[in-house]
Amino acid sequence: MRHIISVRDMDRAAIDALLDAAYEIEARRYNPQRLAGKILALLFYEPSTRTRMSFESAMARLGGSSVTMGSVEASSVAKGETLADTIRVVSGYVDAIVLRHPKEGAARLASEFSSVPVINAGDGAGQHPSQTLLDLYTIRRAMPINGVRVGLLGDLRYGRTTHSLALALSLYGAEIAAVAPKGLELPSGILRELADRGTSVTEYSAIEDVIAGLDVLYVTRIQRERFPDTASYLDIASSYRITPELIGLARDHLIVLHPLPRVDEIDPRVDAMPNAKYFEQAHHGIPVRMAMLSEVLA
Amino acid sequence: MTEDRAQGLLISPIRDGTVIDHISAGQALNVLRILGITGTTPESVSVATNVASGRVGRKDIVKIENRELRKEEVDRIALIAPNATINIIREYTVTSKKGVETPAEVIGVVRCPNPGCISNTSEPACSRFLVTPNGLRCHYCDWLVTKEIAEHIL
Ligand SMILES: [Zn+2]
């Protein structure tokens, strides 16, 4: 039985296989009844409407159906049932489980109690492998991933999507430039892990210093609550804002990604530029999640 | 000779049981915690701390009477006392003497320091860490414990 819990569990061959499958699906070379008769449970212990919708849509496009838990307040969770018990029961109802949970490691725990495959759709500040896979897929649709130069921008301390992405990129010999405000730099544990995987990370505090050498710019949100006061937040946020003028310093083929939703990090004037790939990136969630569902269910 | 006599004054020889020698100085009580030996368990235990030793400068020694520790029990102490040696004593004679080997995984020894980790909830998740060259990595949340492992012992 195959679970998809963390990119740390995946080698390059496993990731490439999923990205290849997603490409075939996007090119409409797939059987739309591949998962006919299969039922997927969507267990969302915290709201993430778009992730849930994209898994539901992916399942429907493969001919399968989905059941959801409904609101957490109305379910046995409110009566104090453990996740482990819920998983033991629900895995008897369905063919696979997609889990979103506020606690880190919840999906790993669920996989230990489930009789069907578990896909992690985000566990707290932890792993969210479908996001990482669709990020990689978007890069690969634009250029070969091998040796790509990626700038990670924003809150790199708490923004775990960048940690998972960096770990996955290390399998492809990528070069990583980390651009973060003081206090929000990549944690030392991640830097050490990347170094062990042979990936060098160069740290910058200003995006202007590095954008000219990048192939990919991955922008993440800087949250207001990380700063002591609004003034210091606005000061930092404005200096990390992506504008057409900034993109003008970059090479033509630079692509700009963002896990969305964005707030002010990217000037809306960038949306019309050919470099802006963040909406395509969001759309890639469907073929990538279809590939993941096929992988664990077919 | 001097060293032997000094130790003899500190702790007398035991007839049957286990002597853990060459424990990193100051770690003897943590070793007992890892082994699950507390004031409420029946073993007769003697502890010597900061004993002069040519090999590691200062060391701790623990003697546990009438209990022979199994290898998988003692390997867990490698996390905090990597140079320890385990002597099994029968009739005042050392019948086996071994070092400790760092296990690949430690289960039920260390609490995950991440407050958001599923292993720190009421879920039936036993603390489980992978031993890596950089430290202990939580099986659930990937948190890396690099220093002060002793502070996180359950
Ligand atoms: Zn943990």
The arithmetic mean of pLDDT across residues A100-115, rounded, is 96
**Which residues of chain B form CATH 3.30.70.140?**
10-99
Q: Which residue has the tokens 């000037």?
A: A267
Q: What are B121-148's pLDDT values in tens digits?
A: 999 998 999 998 888 999 999 988 887 7
What number is the average pLDDT over the span A263-288? 96
Domain membership of residue A137 (yes or no) is: yes
Compute the distance between CA of residue A38 and CA of residue A48 in angstroms, rounded to an integer: 23
- Residue B4 confidence (pLDDT): 47
Residues of chain A neighbouring B123 (CB-CB closer than 8 A): 82-84, 109
pTM for this prediction: 0.88
Q: How far is the CA of A104 from the centre of ligand 1 (A)?
A: 7
Question: What's the A31 CA to ligand 1 centre distance in angstroms?
Answer: 40
pLDDT tens digits along B25-70:
999 988 998 888 877 878 889 999 999 887 668 999 999 999 998 8
Does A12 reach chain B within 8 Å, measured CB to CB? no
My answer on whether A41 and A111 are in the same domain is yes
pLDDT value at position B6? 46
Rounded to whole angstroms, the Cα distance separating A289 from B9 reads 70
* Beta carbons within 10 angstroms of residue A140's beta carbon: 20
What is the per-residue pLDDT for B48?
92
Q: What tens digit of pLDDT does each residue of A49-61 get? A: 899 999 999 999 9
A50 is catalytic: yes
Q: Going by C-beta distance under 8 Å and a sequence separation of 6 or more, which residues neighbour residue A126? A: A6, A104, A105, A107, A160, B116, B141, B142
Same domain, A175 and A239: yes
- Indicate if the pLDDT at residue B92 is higher than 60: yes
CATH number of B10-99: 3.30.70.140
Could you confirm whether A128 is annotated as catalytic?
yes
Domain membership of residue A134 as a residue range: 129-282
- Distance of CA B135 to CAs A56, A163, B106, Å? 39, 18, 12
Ligand 1: distance of its center to the CA of A290 in Å? 30
A1 within domain boundaries: no
Does A214 share its domain with A270?
yes
Pick the catalytic residue: A28, A29, A49, A79? Answer: A79
In a domain, A2, yes or no: no
* Residue B146 at interface with chain A, using a CB cutoff of 8 Å: yes
Chain A: residue whose CA lies nearest to B120: A103
Q: CATH 2.30.30.20 residue ranges in chain B? A: 105-152
What's the whole-number mean pLDDT along residues A25-38? 97
Q: Are residues A92 and A192 in the same domain?
A: no
User: Are residues A164 and A61 part of one domain?
Assistant: no
Examine the domain organization and report whether A97 and A149 are in the same domain.
no
Q: Are A165 and A141 in contact (CB under 8 A)?
A: no
* Residue in chain A lying closest to B114 (CA): A104
Residue A214 CB-half CA count within 13 A = 30
- Please report the pLDDT score of residue B36 as a whole number: 84
**Are residues A210 and A227 part of one domain?**
yes
Please count the structural domains in chain A.
Answer: 2
The topology under which CATH files domain B105-152 is SH3 type barrels. (2.30.30)
Tell me the CA–centroid distance for residue B35 and ligand 1, in Å. 22
Average pLDDT on A16-43 reads 97
pLDDT of residue A102: 92
**Tokens 């809150």 belong to residue:** A155
Looking at the DSSP assignment, which residues form a beta bridge with residue A152? A178, A218
Q: Give me the pLDDT at residue B78, please.
A: 87
Q: Is residue A143 part of a domain?
A: yes
Instruction: Say if residue B1's pLDDT is above 50.
Output: no
CB nearest to B117's CB, from A8, A84, A103: A103
Percent of chain A with pLDDT over 70: 98
Answer whether A180's CB lies under 8 Å from A154's CB: yes
Instruction: Specify the 3-state DSSP secondary structure of B65.
Output: strand
Co-location of A71 and A145 in the same domain: no
Q: Please indicate if any CB of chain B lies within 8 Å of the CB of A103.
A: yes
- % pLDDT > 90, chain B: 44
A33 and A100 housed in the same domain: yes
**Active-site residue flag, A79:** yes
* A132 included as an active-site residue: no
Regarding whether A229 and A110 lie in a shared domain, the answer is: no
Burial A106-130 (b: 16+ CB within 10 A, else e): bbbbbbebbebbbbbbbbbbbbbbb
Chain B neighbors of A127, CB-CB under 8 A? 142
Q: What is the residue-wise DSSP string for B1-48?
A: -HHHHHHHHHS---SSEEEEEEEETT-HHHHHHHHT--TTS--EEEEE
Q: Whole-number mean pLDDT of chain A?
A: 94
- Predicted confidence (pLDDT) at residue B109 exceeds the cutoff of 90: no
A104 to B142: CB separation less than 8 angstroms, yes or no: yes
- Do both A278 and A289 map to the same domain? no
**B105 CB near a chain A CB, below 8 Å?**
no
Mean pLDDT of A268-291: 98
> Higher model confidence: residue B72 or residue A278?
A278
Are residues A165 and A245 part of one domain?
Answer: yes
Residue A52 in any domain: the answer is: yes
A5: nearest CA in chain B? B140
Active site residue A82: no
> Any idea what the CATH number is for the domain that residue A84 is in?
3.40.50.1370
Instruction: Report d(CA B120, CA B116) in Å as an integer.
Output: 7
